[in-house]
Amino acid sequence: MRQGITDNHHSESTGNTTALNSVQKAAIELGINLEALPSHIAIIMDGNGRWAKKRGFARLLGHREGYKTLRSILLAASELGVKYLTVYAFSAENWRRPEDEVAGLMKLIETAARDELRAMHQNNVRVCVAGRKEQIPLGLRKALEHGIETTKDNTGITFTLAVNYGGRAEIVDAVKSLITENVPAEQITEDLISQHLYNPNHPEPDLMIRTAGEMRWSNFLIWQSAYCELFVTEVPWPEFSSKQLLEAVSTFQQRTRKFGAVVE
Protein backbone atom coordinates (compact mmCIF):
# COMPACT_ATOMS: atom_id res chain seq x y z
CA MET A 1 0.00 0.00 0.00
CA ARG A 2 1.06 3.60 -0.43
CA GLN A 3 0.50 6.60 1.76
CA GLY A 4 -1.97 9.31 0.97
CA ILE A 5 -5.35 7.55 1.00
CA THR A 6 -7.95 10.22 0.35
CA ASP A 7 -11.16 10.40 2.35
CA ASN A 8 -14.58 10.77 0.74
CA HIS A 9 -15.58 14.46 0.59
CA HIS A 10 -18.96 16.12 0.27
CA SER A 11 -17.63 18.05 -2.73
CA GLU A 12 -18.20 14.91 -4.80
CA SER A 13 -21.93 15.53 -4.94
CA THR A 14 -21.40 19.03 -6.32
CA GLY A 15 -19.34 17.86 -9.25
CA ASN A 16 -16.07 19.28 -7.87
CA THR A 17 -13.51 16.59 -8.68
CA THR A 18 -10.39 18.53 -7.71
CA ALA A 19 -10.20 16.82 -4.30
CA LEU A 20 -10.88 13.33 -5.61
CA ASN A 21 -8.32 10.56 -6.03
CA SER A 22 -7.92 8.47 -9.18
CA VAL A 23 -10.20 5.67 -7.98
CA GLN A 24 -13.02 8.09 -7.16
CA LYS A 25 -12.62 9.84 -10.52
CA ALA A 26 -12.81 6.49 -12.33
CA ALA A 27 -15.93 5.66 -10.31
CA ILE A 28 -17.63 8.89 -11.33
CA GLU A 29 -16.84 8.20 -14.99
CA LEU A 30 -18.77 4.93 -14.60
CA GLY A 31 -21.73 6.79 -13.14
CA ILE A 32 -21.11 5.61 -9.57
CA ASN A 33 -22.64 7.77 -6.85
CA LEU A 34 -19.90 8.23 -4.25
CA GLU A 35 -22.50 9.08 -1.62
CA ALA A 36 -24.31 5.75 -2.05
CA LEU A 37 -21.42 3.30 -1.81
CA PRO A 38 -21.79 -0.07 -0.12
CA SER A 39 -20.54 0.49 3.40
CA HIS A 40 -19.29 -3.08 3.76
CA ILE A 41 -17.93 -5.23 0.93
CA ALA A 42 -17.10 -8.91 1.44
CA ILE A 43 -14.99 -10.87 -1.05
CA ILE A 44 -14.59 -14.60 -1.69
CA MET A 45 -11.15 -14.59 -3.29
CA ASP A 46 -11.49 -17.64 -5.53
CA GLY A 47 -9.43 -19.02 -8.40
CA ASN A 48 -5.85 -18.69 -7.18
CA GLY A 49 -5.00 -22.37 -7.60
CA ARG A 50 -6.76 -22.71 -10.96
CA TRP A 51 -5.02 -19.56 -12.22
CA ALA A 52 -1.63 -21.06 -11.33
CA LYS A 53 -2.43 -24.53 -12.70
CA LYS A 54 -3.55 -23.09 -16.03
CA ARG A 55 -0.10 -21.53 -16.37
CA GLY A 56 1.80 -24.60 -15.25
CA PHE A 57 2.72 -23.14 -11.87
CA ALA A 58 2.39 -24.59 -8.37
CA ARG A 59 -0.89 -23.67 -6.66
CA LEU A 60 0.96 -21.74 -3.96
CA LEU A 61 2.27 -19.32 -6.58
CA GLY A 62 -1.33 -18.50 -7.38
CA HIS A 63 -1.94 -17.67 -3.74
CA ARG A 64 1.11 -15.40 -3.74
CA GLU A 65 -0.27 -13.56 -6.75
CA GLY A 66 -3.60 -13.35 -4.98
CA TYR A 67 -1.88 -11.69 -2.03
CA LYS A 68 -0.59 -8.97 -4.38
CA THR A 69 -4.13 -8.48 -5.65
CA LEU A 70 -5.44 -8.12 -2.12
CA ARG A 71 -2.96 -5.32 -1.42
CA SER A 72 -4.19 -3.32 -4.42
CA ILE A 73 -7.88 -3.99 -3.78
CA LEU A 74 -7.64 -2.93 -0.14
CA LEU A 75 -6.05 0.32 -1.29
CA ALA A 76 -8.66 0.82 -4.02
CA ALA A 77 -11.57 0.13 -1.66
CA SER A 78 -10.15 2.57 0.87
CA GLU A 79 -9.61 5.28 -1.71
CA LEU A 80 -13.09 4.73 -3.11
CA GLY A 81 -14.58 5.40 0.31
CA VAL A 82 -15.67 1.93 1.42
CA LYS A 83 -15.72 1.68 5.22
CA TYR A 84 -15.43 -2.11 5.71
CA LEU A 85 -13.74 -4.79 3.64
CA THR A 86 -13.88 -8.45 4.71
CA VAL A 87 -12.04 -11.14 2.74
CA TYR A 88 -12.19 -14.94 2.92
CA ALA A 89 -8.52 -15.86 3.36
CA PHE A 90 -8.77 -19.40 4.72
CA SER A 91 -11.93 -21.35 5.45
CA ALA A 92 -12.46 -23.96 8.14
CA GLU A 93 -12.83 -26.46 5.30
CA ASN A 94 -9.50 -25.52 3.70
CA TRP A 95 -7.66 -27.75 6.18
CA ARG A 96 -8.68 -30.62 3.86
CA ARG A 97 -6.28 -29.37 1.18
CA PRO A 98 -2.83 -30.95 0.67
CA GLU A 99 -0.62 -30.50 3.72
CA ASP A 100 2.10 -28.59 1.86
CA GLU A 101 -0.45 -26.14 0.43
CA VAL A 102 -1.99 -25.52 3.86
CA ALA A 103 1.45 -24.95 5.42
CA GLY A 104 2.36 -22.60 2.58
CA LEU A 105 -0.85 -20.64 2.98
CA MET A 106 -0.38 -20.27 6.73
CA LYS A 107 3.14 -18.98 6.22
CA LEU A 108 2.05 -16.64 3.42
CA ILE A 109 -0.69 -15.11 5.57
CA GLU A 110 1.72 -14.73 8.49
CA THR A 111 4.38 -13.07 6.33
CA ALA A 112 1.81 -10.73 4.78
CA ALA A 113 0.41 -9.82 8.21
CA ARG A 114 3.87 -8.83 9.41
CA ASP A 115 5.16 -7.16 6.25
CA GLU A 116 2.06 -5.08 5.55
CA LEU A 117 1.35 -3.89 9.09
CA ARG A 118 3.42 -0.73 8.94
CA ALA A 119 1.88 0.39 5.65
CA MET A 120 -1.64 -0.38 6.84
CA HIS A 121 -1.06 1.50 10.08
CA GLN A 122 0.32 4.51 8.20
CA ASN A 123 -2.76 4.44 5.97
CA ASN A 124 -5.10 4.46 8.98
CA VAL A 125 -6.40 0.93 8.27
CA ARG A 126 -7.97 -0.91 11.20
CA VAL A 127 -7.22 -4.64 11.14
CA CYS A 128 -9.66 -7.25 12.45
CA VAL A 129 -9.89 -11.04 12.24
CA ALA A 130 -12.85 -13.41 12.00
CA GLY A 131 -12.55 -17.11 12.73
CA ARG A 132 -11.35 -19.59 15.32
CA LYS A 133 -7.95 -18.05 15.97
CA GLU A 134 -7.01 -20.54 18.66
CA GLN A 135 -6.72 -23.31 16.04
CA ILE A 136 -4.25 -21.57 13.72
CA PRO A 137 -0.44 -21.77 14.07
CA LEU A 138 1.02 -19.75 16.94
CA GLY A 139 3.21 -17.55 14.73
CA LEU A 140 0.27 -16.51 12.59
CA ARG A 141 -1.94 -15.94 15.61
CA LYS A 142 0.65 -13.66 17.22
CA ALA A 143 1.12 -11.71 13.97
CA LEU A 144 -2.62 -11.16 13.64
CA GLU A 145 -3.05 -10.20 17.28
CA HIS A 146 -0.20 -7.70 16.97
CA GLY A 147 -1.87 -6.19 13.92
CA ILE A 148 -5.20 -5.90 15.71
CA GLU A 149 -3.62 -4.24 18.75
CA THR A 150 -1.46 -1.86 16.70
CA THR A 151 -4.30 -0.56 14.53
CA LYS A 152 -7.22 -0.71 16.98
CA ASP A 153 -7.57 3.09 17.20
CA ASN A 154 -7.31 3.74 13.46
CA THR A 155 -10.34 5.38 11.88
CA GLY A 156 -9.97 4.50 8.19
CA ILE A 157 -11.23 1.41 6.42
CA THR A 158 -11.77 -1.64 8.64
CA PHE A 159 -10.05 -4.61 7.00
CA THR A 160 -11.15 -8.01 8.30
CA LEU A 161 -9.28 -11.18 7.45
CA ALA A 162 -11.42 -14.32 7.77
CA VAL A 163 -8.95 -17.06 8.76
CA ASN A 164 -10.02 -20.55 9.83
CA TYR A 165 -13.49 -19.14 9.34
CA GLY A 166 -16.79 -20.90 8.77
CA GLY A 167 -20.21 -19.27 8.79
CA ARG A 168 -21.86 -22.20 10.53
CA ALA A 169 -19.02 -22.40 13.06
CA GLU A 170 -19.52 -18.72 13.85
CA ILE A 171 -23.20 -19.30 14.57
CA VAL A 172 -22.36 -22.33 16.73
CA ASP A 173 -19.84 -20.25 18.69
CA ALA A 174 -22.43 -17.51 19.17
CA VAL A 175 -24.96 -20.02 20.51
CA LYS A 176 -22.35 -21.53 22.84
CA SER A 177 -21.57 -18.10 24.27
CA LEU A 178 -25.28 -17.50 24.92
CA ILE A 179 -25.49 -20.82 26.75
CA THR A 180 -22.39 -19.97 28.78
CA GLU A 181 -24.04 -16.69 29.78
CA ASN A 182 -27.16 -18.62 30.85
CA VAL A 183 -29.41 -16.58 28.59
CA PRO A 184 -32.98 -17.95 28.80
CA ALA A 185 -34.29 -19.40 25.53
CA GLU A 186 -37.23 -16.99 25.44
CA GLN A 187 -34.80 -14.04 25.47
CA ILE A 188 -32.79 -15.19 22.46
CA THR A 189 -33.46 -13.05 19.40
CA GLU A 190 -31.79 -12.48 16.05
CA ASP A 191 -30.30 -9.26 17.39
CA LEU A 192 -28.88 -11.08 20.41
CA ILE A 193 -27.27 -13.74 18.24
CA SER A 194 -25.81 -11.00 16.03
CA GLN A 195 -24.29 -9.40 19.12
CA HIS A 196 -22.41 -12.64 19.86
CA LEU A 197 -20.81 -13.08 16.43
CA TYR A 198 -17.06 -12.62 15.92
CA ASN A 199 -17.25 -8.90 15.06
CA PRO A 200 -20.62 -7.73 16.36
CA ASN A 201 -19.89 -4.05 15.80
CA HIS A 202 -19.37 -4.45 12.05
CA PRO A 203 -22.34 -3.66 9.81
CA GLU A 204 -23.68 -6.51 7.73
CA PRO A 205 -22.16 -6.66 4.24
CA ASP A 206 -24.03 -4.82 1.52
CA LEU A 207 -22.16 -6.44 -1.35
CA MET A 208 -20.58 -9.88 -1.70
CA ILE A 209 -18.08 -10.35 -4.54
CA ARG A 210 -17.01 -13.79 -5.71
CA THR A 211 -14.30 -14.27 -8.30
CA ALA A 212 -13.58 -17.13 -10.75
CA GLY A 213 -17.21 -17.69 -11.67
CA GLU A 214 -18.34 -20.01 -8.88
CA MET A 215 -21.97 -19.57 -7.84
CA ARG A 216 -21.73 -20.65 -4.21
CA TRP A 217 -21.76 -18.88 -0.85
CA SER A 218 -19.18 -21.36 0.52
CA ASN A 219 -20.17 -20.90 4.16
CA PHE A 220 -18.98 -17.28 4.24
CA LEU A 221 -20.79 -14.78 6.49
CA ILE A 222 -24.00 -16.74 6.01
CA TRP A 223 -25.74 -15.05 8.96
CA GLN A 224 -24.63 -11.53 8.11
CA SER A 225 -25.16 -11.76 4.34
CA ALA A 226 -28.82 -12.79 4.40
CA TYR A 227 -29.79 -9.72 2.37
CA CYS A 228 -26.54 -8.60 0.76
CA GLU A 229 -26.22 -8.30 -3.01
CA LEU A 230 -24.11 -10.92 -4.79
CA PHE A 231 -21.76 -10.09 -7.67
CA VAL A 232 -19.95 -12.93 -9.46
CA THR A 233 -17.21 -12.40 -12.02
CA GLU A 234 -15.42 -14.95 -14.18
CA VAL A 235 -12.14 -13.15 -13.50
CA PRO A 236 -9.90 -15.23 -11.18
CA TRP A 237 -8.69 -13.46 -8.06
CA PRO A 238 -5.06 -12.94 -9.22
CA GLU A 239 -6.42 -10.94 -12.18
CA PHE A 240 -9.05 -9.00 -10.22
CA SER A 241 -8.43 -5.25 -10.27
CA SER A 242 -10.00 -1.94 -9.33
CA LYS A 243 -11.83 -2.11 -12.69
CA GLN A 244 -13.79 -5.18 -11.54
CA LEU A 245 -14.27 -3.66 -8.10
CA LEU A 246 -15.90 -0.59 -9.63
CA GLU A 247 -17.96 -2.79 -11.94
CA ALA A 248 -19.30 -4.61 -8.89
CA VAL A 249 -20.14 -1.35 -7.12
CA SER A 250 -21.83 0.01 -10.24
CA THR A 251 -23.95 -3.14 -10.51
CA PHE A 252 -24.81 -2.87 -6.82
CA GLN A 253 -26.09 0.66 -7.26
CA GLN A 254 -28.35 -0.41 -10.14
CA ARG A 255 -30.22 -2.92 -7.99
CA THR A 256 -33.25 -2.32 -5.78
CA ARG A 257 -32.71 -3.73 -2.31
CA LYS A 258 -36.06 -4.91 -0.95
CA PHE A 259 -35.10 -6.80 2.24
CA GLY A 260 -38.14 -9.03 1.81
CA ALA A 261 -40.58 -6.17 1.29
CA VAL A 262 -42.39 -5.03 -1.87
CA VAL A 263 -40.91 -1.93 -3.47
CA GLU A 264 -43.12 -0.12 -5.99
Q: Based on the residue annotation, tell me whether 94 is a catalytic residue of this protein.
A: yes
Give the DSSP letter string of 189-254: -HHHHHTTSSSTTSPPPSEEEE-TT----TTSSTTTTTT-EEEE-SS-GGG--HHHHHHHHHHHHT
pLDDT at residue number 256: 80
Q: Based on the residue annotation, tell me whether 206 is a catalytic residue of this protein.
A: no
pLDDT at residue number 230: 97
Per 3-state DSSP, what percentage of the chain is helix, strand, and coil (rounded to 5)? 45, 15, 40
Check residue 220 and report its DSSP letter. S
pLDDT at residue number 217: 94
Cα distance between residue 122 and residue 113, in whole Å: 14
Contact predicate 68/47, CB 8 Å: no
The whole-angstrom distance between residue 204's C-alpha and the CA centroid of its chain comes to 12
Q: Which of 127, 135, 143, 190 is nearest to 164 (CA)?
A: 135
Contact predicate 43/86, CB 8 Å: yes
pLDDT at residue number 60: 92
pLDDT at residue number 1: 53
pLDDT at residue number 258: 66
Catalytic residue among 8, 21, 46, 206: 46
Task: Please state the pTM of the whole predicted model.
Answer: 0.91
Check residue 83 and report its DSSP letter. S
For residue 207, CA distances in Å to 90, 186, 246 come to 20, 33, 12
Q: Which domains does the chain have, with CATH numbers?
A: 23-253 (3.40.1180.10)
Beta pairing class for 84-91 and 126-130: unpaired
From first to last of the 264 residues of the chain, give the pLDDT tens digit.
Answer: 544 344 444 444 445 666 999 999 999 999 999 999 999 999 999 999 999 999 999 999 999 999 999 999 999 999 999 999 999 999 999 999 999 999 999 999 999 999 999 999 999 999 999 999 999 999 999 999 999 999 999 999 999 999 999 999 999 999 999 999 999 999 999 999 999 999 999 999 999 999 999 999 999 999 999 999 999 999 999 999 999 999 999 999 998 876 666 566
pLDDT at residue number 17: 60
Contact predicate 214/46, CB 8 Å: yes
